[in-house]
Amino acid sequence: MTTLQQNYSVDKKGYYGKFGGAYIPEMLYPNVEELQQNYLDIIYQPEFQAEYHALLKDYVGRPTPLFYANRLSEKYQTNVYLKREDLCHTGAHKVNNTIGQILLAKKLGKQKIVAETGAGQHGVATATVCALMGLECIVYMGEIDIKRQAPNVARMKMLGAEVRPATSGSKTLKDATNEAMRHWINNPVDTHYIIGSVVGPHPYPDMVARFQAIISEEIRWQLLEKTGTENPDYVIACVGGGSNAAGAFYHYLDDPSVQLIAAEAGGHGINSGMSAATTFLGKMGVLHGSKSILMQTEDGQVVEPHSISAGLDYPGIGPMHAHLWDSGRAKFFAITDEESLTAGFELSKLEGIIPAIESAHALAVLPYLKAAANETVVINLSGRGDKDLDTYMKYL
């Protein structure tokens, strides 16, 4: 299936250039080492691959379509294709990763799953696969997020998961992640920790990227079928932690003829003090077990990010993206809340597709791109907008 990439893939120690690694408390070594030593062997076993692909097909609904957006293309005078991750079971790309990790957990002989969640999307994707496989599921979620995201809390409970409030710090995603890690330290033998993006200590960023790589694997043959060539001129994706972008970029990383474009959440603007545009505002630092770019004060305190989209409201990015940014391989845009809303309304009216506000950030790059009439743009539509109707309705 997926071959090791030349320049932009992880090295043996878990680094992408100067970013990555495994900066973890000693108590976590046994868990993380067990994963580091086994993940590649397990996930490339033919039996594992067969099971993973069968579930992607019959449970998730893959391959997701690659849709030529006619009216959007007309408006921007270029050729825009949408990769429809919004049509995955549970409404976003996150399930590609949780399917892979739950199969891995079973191969490692684990009976319990722990996860963190911010807005609840990853919590729901994890609770879903735990129900599917009959594994016990505990999801840590910030106390404030539990109040803000009641429908997803209800979904997780209905799927049989236990939702535990994280009551420390700012009571949001970063605190939920800390508590999920602590839980894993205390339950190393029977529990696997399912991280929801290309973040965390090695091997998580690489492992999650490989599970999401199915996105660009499909784009290649779908585009070939439709246009006669595997390569678009541009691939655009939004970046919170970076998993949907990692998946959409993966098979194009070493082909410089394909321009990789990442849309970060600019919030109210990068100079407003209310932003989540990590590459514009961040510095090198360590967060949740890996060295990357993160938003921090002079003395290294993590800065609270802001974005209208819960999925992009994260003060860091994964190490792969830090390296893509640092090396210039990918170009980064900071898209404001307002620009993303405009793009979300535009796609709804022009194509009859209501995108997640996260995905709308990727769409909002189009006016800046100025792609030529004979060029091809693939936009990864990471999720559907049903969960965001309350937000959209405020601006209708």
Ligand X SMILES: *Cc1c(COP(=O)(O)O)cnc(C)c1O
Q: Which position among 31, 172, 177, 243 is part of the footprint of ligand X (CB under 6 A)?
A: 243
Residue 287 CB, shortest distance to ligand X, in Å, is 14
Residues 6+ apart with CB under 8 A from 158: none
226 is known as an active-site residue? no
Residues 6+ apart with CB under 8 A from 187: 112, 114
Assess 319 for contact with ligand X (CB under 6 A).
no
Q: Which position among 24, 173, 239, 322 is part of the footprint of ligand X (CB under 6 A)?
A: 239
Closest to ligand X by CB, 63 or 240 = 240
State the DSSP string of 132-199: HHT-EEEEEEEHHHHHHTHHHHHHHHHTTPEEEEE-STTSSHHHHHHHHHHHHHHSTTTEEEE-SSS-
Instruction: Please tell me the count of residues contacting ligand X according to CB under 6 A.
Output: 18
Single out the catalytic residue among 9, 216, 309, 382: 382
174 is known as an active-site residue? no
Q: Which stretch binds ligand X (CB under 6 A): 21-29, 144-152, 235-243, 251-259?
A: 235-243
C-alpha to C-alpha distances, 374 to 73, 80, 260, nearest whole angstrom: 11, 11, 18
Contact by Cβ (8 Å): 52, 318: no
Binding residues among 37-56 for ligand X as defined by CB under 6 A = none
Peptide bond into 151 cis (omega under 30): no
Nearest CA to 203 out of 1, 8, 47, 16 is that of: 16
Q: Which position among 166, 339, 382, 388 is part of the footprint of ligand X (CB under 6 A)?
A: 382
Closest to ligand X by CB, 232 or 241 = 241
Residue 288 CB, shortest distance to ligand X, in Å, is 13
Assess 241 for contact with ligand X (CB under 6 A).
yes
> Which helix (H) or strand (E) element contains residue 280?
helix 278-281
User: Can you tell me the distance from the alpha carbon of 380 to that of 245, in angstroms, rounded to the nearest whole number?
Assistant: 8
Site pattern 166..205 for ligand X (x: CB under 6 A): -------------------------------x--------
User: Can you tell me the distance from the alpha carbon of 82 to that of 260, in angstroms, rounded to the nearest whole number?
Assistant: 15
Assess 264 for contact with ligand X (CB under 6 A).
no
Contact by Cβ (8 Å): 211, 222: no
Binding residues among 90-129 for ligand X as defined by CB under 6 A = 92, 94, 121
Q: Report the length, in residues, of the chain.
A: 396
Assess 146 for contact with ligand X (CB under 6 A).
no
94 is known as an active-site residue? yes
The catalytic residues are 94, 116, 382
- Interface residues with ligand X (CB under 6 A) are 92, 94, 121, 197, 238-244, 311-312, 356, 358-359, 382-383
